[in-house]
Amino acid sequence: FDLRNLINGLQGSKLLAGSVNAAALNIQTISPSKVIRKTAAESVTSSTTLQNDDHFSFSINPNNIYTFDIYAPMTMSAAGSIKIAVTMPAGATLELNGLVLGAGTAAYGETTSGGTGIALVTTLTSGILQVHGVVANGGTGGTINFQWAQNTSDGTSTTLLVNSHMITHMIS
């Protein structure tokens, strides 16, 4: 679908009043969104070491900007909670926000440093993890890896449940 051709075809019609210089429009071809679904629950027990999620990763091209959102129902002990991070290619910049929501309580954190854990500490034993990230990549392609672990080592598993999902968009 070429928007410039559509605009040129509508010039002078009753649907497009006035004129538009289609060649001067800044129209970019952007790749479609991608949805990544967790096909099995994933647990971390007695570990505060950030590990790559089994499902939530995607490839990025040089010199492009990407956004991603994660929605993950989860269970955990109030003592263990969760910490999150993202790894990315050298030269990329990051804005990362994380939120755990549950019955009457929430925990929020943010970072601009890849690989730096955000502690999302609550008294919840179940809730929803919501993550939003923006990555402006430099000149090297590579992979975005979502990482997580328990914030405090605990014998009760912190688990991201099946059908949790990540939605990615290339916006530039």
Which residues on adjacent β-strands are paired with residue 108? 99
Rounded Cα gap, residues 7 and 100, in angstroms? 45
Residue 169 reports pLDDT greater than 80: yes
Residue 41 in this model has a pLDDT that exceeds 60: yes
Q: Is 121 exposed, middle or buried (0-12, 13-18, 19+ CB in 10 A)?
A: middle
pLDDT tier at 60 (50, 70, 90 boundaries)?
Answer: very high
Give Cβ neighbours of residue 80 (< 8 Å, ≥ 6 apart): 150, 151, 152, 153, 154, 156, 157, 158
Q: What is the pLDDT of residue 136?
A: 97
pLDDT of residue 104: 79
**pLDDT tens digits for 123-167?**
999 999 999 999 999 999 999 999 999 999 999 999 999 999 999
> Average pLDDT, whole number, for the chain?
89
pTM: 0.82
Q: Is pLDDT above 70 for 24?
A: no
For 85-128, the pLDDT digits (tens) are 999 999 999 999 999 999 878 999 999 999 999 999 999 999 99
Q: What is the mean pLDDT of residues 65-78?
A: 96
Angstrom distance (rounded) from CA 141 to CA 97: 23
